[in-house]
Amino acid sequence: MKRSPITRSPMPPRKTPMAKKPARNSGERAKFRKGVRARSGGRCEYVWLDGSRCDCRAVVAHHIYPVGSHPHLVGCVDDGADLCEAHDDMAHKNDVKFTRERLLATMPPTQRERLESARRKGK
Ligand SMILES: [Zn+2]
């Protein structure tokens, strides 16, 4: 059987023009990353169950409360945890709830108080 040439499938006309993705406040994000990195010293801030801190190099300034649901915390350094690749994976894929609770439970109490206060302001 002869194969038919590849043809483009007809696309329905777009009803609305593609919306340009809004700039997600890059200044606030840069301030967030810098602040989190300054606090962590470049080392992952995850604390193991035995109380020791992860020894790995931090690669991602992670938002403990997701920016999607907490956009007002985008520049809030207290909402940040500098994480290594493995712990960032854990925070996003494997153990999202556990990791968030762990990060909240092991951060300094003053940071947690400021964070909870900032979080409430957005509601
Ligand atoms: Zn780590």
| Predicted local confidence at residue 106, as pLDDT | 97
3-state SS, 7-64, equals CCCCCCCCCCCCCCCCCCCHHHHHHHHHHHHHHHCCECCCECCCCCECCCECCEEEEC
**What is the number of residues in the chain?**
123
Question: What's the CA-to-centroid distance between 61 and ligand 1, angstroms?
Answer: 12
Question: What's the CA-to-centroid distance between 40 and ligand 1, angstroms?
Answer: 12
Question: What's the CA-to-centroid distance between 12 and ligand 1, angstroms?
Answer: 47
Q: In whole angstroms, what is the distance from residue 97 CA to residue 32 CA?
A: 22
pLDDT tens by residue, 59-89: 999 999 999 999 999 999 999 999 999 999 9
Indicate the SS3 state at residue 92: helix
Question: Are the CB atoms for 80 and 100 separated by under 8 Å?
Answer: no
pLDDT tens by residue, 8-43: 666 666 655 555 544 566 899 999 999 999 999 999
Question: What's the CA-to-centroid distance between 106 and ligand 1, angstroms?
Answer: 13
